[in-house]
């Protein structure tokens, strides 16, 4: 049985089509990545699966339970850490977790034990008895994630879980995610960080404008990109357009141009080495100085760029969206 099954899911907000008919089948016991540019519909999918939002049409099941007809059963087996951490500011970290534990009907003793375990796992023990309003952004996110694990969910939704985490906390979370999968949890993860998807996800879907535009294992997606990628840097920014013209002519494909880095990339499906030589000669003839001319394996960045025509968001251009915060747990009474 699939952990998650989605069929022809549609959702519109006024004139905005958030989901234009999405189908997904996500096997049990893996980390599945949902990738896509801002506004693609990732959070909408997650909120529908977590029973926080009703679709206009289509079906969605989590471990065979229908999110529309059996929302209470779905809530019992899932955990959710939303895109915007939602924790109670006045309470301490420990009190927040114990409260979520009681909402999941754990006994007081069990809630206390589980809380300590999770505080340790997320490196929050030292801050456990401080009010959350004194926590940093990264600490809040870690607490929100800990809250999503209180009920030992079989299926866990993580909506951009590492946004705003420093590199060490990000690595820590990757370890936790790998542990959870080893214990049999299925994870649906949305992320803007392709390196993260590459490391963690066994399969992924790229969505754009509310539709799945590519689906498969990370290797399949990279293979579909073509065998390798021709990449070079142009020393003089004013010659970028000339360089792009040369690549277009020699490689017979339109290169992606990164103006800031002065970098050009183009798929090099076959005869990569000869292509490097011919490109170098053409640049030489045209008198355009290049550095770092070579071939490399495609990354998920290339896949993403090629499919959506947009660069994935980089950590430094994060904006704070104006959406309302989501409840951290999805147990009754928290929304």
Contact map string, positions 71 to 110, toward ligand ATP, x by CB under 6 A = ------------x---------------------------
Quick count: other Cβ atoms within 10 Å of Cβ 29? Answer: 14
- What's the min distance (Å) between Cβ of 284 and Mg ion? 46
Distance separating alpha carbons of residues 131 and 141, to the nearest angstrom: 14
Q: Which of ligand ATP, Mg ion, none binds 320 (CB below 5-8 Å, type-dependent)?
A: none
Q: Which of ligand ATP, Mg ion, none has residue 246 at its interface (CB below 5 to 8 Å by kind)? A: none
Distance of alpha carbon 106 from alpha carbon 230, whole angstroms: 56
User: Min. distance of Cβ 172 from Mg ion in angstroms?
Assistant: 22
Q: Decide: is 320 part of the binding site for ligand ATP (CB under 6 A).
A: no
13 interface partner picked from ligand ATP, Mg ion, none, CB below 5 to 8 A per type: ligand ATP
Q: Are strands 31-35 and 263-268 parallel, antiparallel or unpaired?
A: unpaired
- Cα(67)–Cα(46) distance, rounded to whole angstroms? 11
| Between 83 and 148, CB nearer to Mg ion | 83
CA distance 4 to 136: 34
The pairing of strands 31-35 and 186-190 is: parallel
Per partner kind, with CB cut-offs from 5 to 8 A, the member of ligand ATP, Mg ion, none near residue 16 is: ligand ATP
Q: Which window, 11-19, 110-118, 287-295, 301-309, contacts ligand ATP (CB under 6 A)?
A: 11-19
Q: Are strands 65-66 and 57-62 parallel, antiparallel or unpaired?
A: antiparallel
Q: What radius of gyration, in Å, describes the C-alpha atoms of the chain?
A: 23
How many Å from the N-terminal Cα to the C-terminal Cα in the chain? 30
**Binder of residue 71, out of Mg ion, ligand ATP, none (CB less than 5 to 8 A by kind):** none
Q: What HEC string does 200-215 produce?
A: HCCEEEEEECCEEEEE
Between 11 and 42, CB nearer to Mg ion? 42
- What does 208-244 look like in DSSP terms, one character per residue? ETTEEEEEEEHHHHHHHT-SEEEEEEESSGGGHHHHH
Minimum CB distance to ligand ATP smaller for 55 or for 267: 55
Q: Which residue is nearest to Mg ion (CB)?
A: 43
Is 163 a binding residue for Mg ion by CB under 5 A? The answer is no
Q: Which stretch binds Mg ion (CB under 5 A): 75-83, 110-118, 225-233, 283-291?
A: 75-83
Q: Does residue 43 interact with Mg ion by CB under 5 A?
A: yes
Write down the least CB distance from residue 207 to ligand ATP, Å: 7
Q: How far apart are CA 213 and CA 40, in angstroms?
A: 11
The string of DSSP letters for 12-53 reads EETTEEEEEEEEEEEETTSEEEEE-STTSSHHHHHHHHTTSS
- Which region, judged by CB under 6 A, interacts with ligand ATP, from 42-50, 85-93, 117-125, 284-292? 42-50
Query: Using CB under 5 A as the criterion, which residues of the chain lie in contact with Mg ion when the complex forms?
Result: 42-43, 83
Q: Which residues bind ligand ATP (CB under 6 A)?
A: 13, 16, 18, 36, 38-44, 83
């Amino acid at each position: 049985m699939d952990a998650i099954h989605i069929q022809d899911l549609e959702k519109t907000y006024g004139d905005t089509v958030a989901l234009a008919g999405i189908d997904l089948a996500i096997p049990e016991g893996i980390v599945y990545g949902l990738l896509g540019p801002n506004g693609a519909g990732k959070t909408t999918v997650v909120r529908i699966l977590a029973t926080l939002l009703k679709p206009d049409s289509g079906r969605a099941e989590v471990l065979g339970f229908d999110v529309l007809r059996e929302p209470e059963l779905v809530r019992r087996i899932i955990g959710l850490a939303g895109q915007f951490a939602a924790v109670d500011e006045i309470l301490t970290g420990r009190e927040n977790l114990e409260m979520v534990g009681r909402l999941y009907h754990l006994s007081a003793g069990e809630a206390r034990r589980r809380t300590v375990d999770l505080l340790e796992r997320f490196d929050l023990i030292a801050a456990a008895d401080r009010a959350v309003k004194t926590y940093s952004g990264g600490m809040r996110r870690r607490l929100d994630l800990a809250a999503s694990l209180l009920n030992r969910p079989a299926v866990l939704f993580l909506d951009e879980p590492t946004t705003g985490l420093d590199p060490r906390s990000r690595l820590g979370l990757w370890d936790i995610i790998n542990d959870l999968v080893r214990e049999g949890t299925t994870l649906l993860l949305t992320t803007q960080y392709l390196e993260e998807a590459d490391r963690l996800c066994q399969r992924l879907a790229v969505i754009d404008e509310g539709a799945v535009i590519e689906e498969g294992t990370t290797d399949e997606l990279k293979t579909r990109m073509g065998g390798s990628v021709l990449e070079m840097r142009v020393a003089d920014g004013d010659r970028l357009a000339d360089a792009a013209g040369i690549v277009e002519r020699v490689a017979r494909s339109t290169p992606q141009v990164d103006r800031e880095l002065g970098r050009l990339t183009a798929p090099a499906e076959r005869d990569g080495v000869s292509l490097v030589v011919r490109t170098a000669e053409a640049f030489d003839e045209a008198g355009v100085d290049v550095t770092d001319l070579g071939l490399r394996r495609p990354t998920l960045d290339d896949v993403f760029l090629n499919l959506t025509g947009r660069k994935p968001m980089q950590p430094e251009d994060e904006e704070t969206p104006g959406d309302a915060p989501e409840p951290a747990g999805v147990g009754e009474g928290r929304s």
